[in-house]
Structure 1
């Protein structure tokens, strides 16, 4: 059986990098693979991090192709995944995996061909590309402006209390601010700096292990079994601290680590109950800032995201254009607002007066 691979939905630089990695990897597999146009290939690599990648995936999936998602994300809705940045080792592993799935397992052989190295991590993304989330992605509000922090003046040294006598007319110091109130829901804990270390919460016989410091969690591969964890109140006692030995065994049994941002996304999705979070009015217009990582459990989300990528719109407008009920659209909007993939439409900054009068007509008016 011929093994054929095609490429589509990517910029020229990415295509060149994959072809170079393929040229390194294929001889190690006995040159069993052929690189052909995507229309003739049984297996097609699609750049899922590009704006039109998910649409290419939908087209190829409908055509019966085996789709490989090229992505920075730890998971993809495609049949297989090729991680970014691309190198020949990753392509060789992918080709082995595809061949095994096709019933023709291949072994690597030693050949005198240097392995290609990954592209530097600081290489700018091509125009029109948006990076996908990774397990360590910070949530909105967690990013510290290092330039601003570095620019802040050094604080002067405070003399010891015994060195300076307080003036008689100085008012007593204000009391220290009260400690921040503890969150009352699991979603509140997940987005709060008060959640630290390794914790475990069990509801409905479904354990959930959270590593707040690593921004990861261990739990079911599917999200819906975790819905009960976001119902009702959760206090600090419900989040059991887990020691090293217990964590090693429990996390291995629960499955591979997953990004905590995925859990936050799901928590925001199921916590709103079809109502907009954040007090937004019904006429608020929302937009996607980059393509989200949609979940197989929610196939309607692909249609919602496609509409939202076209431009700002209200929940009612998105629902009408996508054919999805408003309650589902609202929940999807809540989830992507919580993880930074969506935002409200913001009015443009007013143009400075000097800029408006700097053109030809401005000069004529000034005479």
Structure 2
């Protein structure tokens, strides 16, 4: 079964451009790459350069998704990387890297030839919408599987989304397999609601007599100057009705009472700090090594974090090694790592790939061999 793809954690312009590039790349490869919703996708593209990128990666990684990092950085902690700026050619290379097929299309499907390989008479007589000129192609903004003209298959092929054929009158019917049970939605806390596409505009979240104003468009919030009064906000199970829209007049009045706006990333950091309860979040190996990419944000309310950050800045280390180096319990180290994974300051460490033998032939003996 081929992987399916979705997009998340990016602005509207980037999403539109990526859908267009994806549609063109899929057409080049025979139209066999479905673009679906984030929930249904096995592989999800995340804009790691956006504020919500690291949080989206953390959430999707914990859900067992394969994450493709869209980034201008030279490397990414995600499973695959799509460099910025991108085009259809780069997307096509990515698709083939994820599911290489040696240039062959699935059974029963004829791959669409690249425009440079088509004959003039083929270009003048398109046989489908996908073979038409670029300005006649279906809109790439629709997240759907691109249709591809198919040659008669050599043998029946079972499509994942196909409807089972009606039973023959002369042959006994075979009962269709029972559908897999749908997992009930897990309880959602504030860190889930802060994910892209969940909330927008200006809303209020009231908990334990303390209110927080969230401006999702400007990525900022108004609330207490310290973070610990927001423990109930971070740990409570929340429903959509817990977030109430705030009009302009009420917003101006209430935000003034709270003082200066604070970056939403600070609230996200605190939510991730509370989420693990002394354990790494799902999907992360407690025995792996982790490292800080840069000096993270630290709060006066958590003075031990300065010691943890100092130890982690020395190089990749396991949670136990960090704990031994700074004298902070492993549970608190795990919480600190969670918070910085969510905000993009930390990542799991991967040993570098070994250098090719061709790059190791230097030195005296290498020069002698080259004579």
After TM superposition, the score normalised by the length of structure 2 is: 0.53
> Is 1:312 the equivalent of 2:316?
yes
Displacement of 1:364 after TM fit? 4.1
Match of 2:286 in 1: 282
Q: Name the counterpart of 1:157.
A: 135
3-state SS of 1:265 partner:
helix
Picking from 328, 340, 354, the partner of 2:358 is: 354
Contact 2:234 2:270 in 1 (8 A): no
**Aligned to 2:238, which of 218, 227, 234?**
234
What is the rounded CA distance, in whole Å, between the counterparts of 2:245 and 2:336 in structure 1? 32
Q: Which whole-Å deviations, capped at 9, do the CAs of 1:68-109 have from their partners, x for residues lacking one? A: xxxxxxxxxxxxxxxxxxxxxxxxxxxxxxxxxxxxxxxxxx
* Rounded Cα–Cα distance in structure 2 between residues aligned with 1:356 and 1:229: 55
Distance 1:355-1:168 versus aligned 2 partners, 3 A rule? closer
1: CA distance between counterparts of 2:52 and 2:216? 11
Which whole-Å CA distance do the structure 2 matches of 1:244 and 1:262 have between them? 24
SS of alignment partner, residue 300 of structure 2? coil
1:210 paired to 2:146: no
Q: 1:160/1:148 Cα in 2 relative to 1: closer, same or farther (>3 Å)? A: closer
Aligned partner (choices 309, 320, 344) of residue 340 of structure 1: 344
Change (3 A) 1:167 1:324: closer
Q: Which has the higher contact order (CA 8 A, sep 6+)?
A: 2
* 8 Å CA contact retained: 1:183, 1:189: no
Aligned length: 225
Q: Secondary structure at the match of 1:310?
A: coil
Which residue is equivalent to 2:15?
A: none
CA contact (8 A) 2:227 2:270 kept: yes
| Residue 11 (structure 1) aligns with | none
Offset, 1:322: 0.9
- Structure 1 residues 183, 261: closer, same or farther in 2, change over 3 A? farther
How far did residue 150 of structure 1 move? 5.2
Counterpart secondary structure, 2:205: strand
Structure 1 gap ranges (5+): 1-135, 176-180
SS in 1 for 2:350: coil
Corresponding residue for 2:250? 246
Q: Give the corresponding residue for 2:14.
A: none
Structure 1 segments of 4 or more deviating over 6 A?
166-175
TM-score normalized by structure 1?
0.53
How far 1:287 sits from its partner (Å)? 1.2
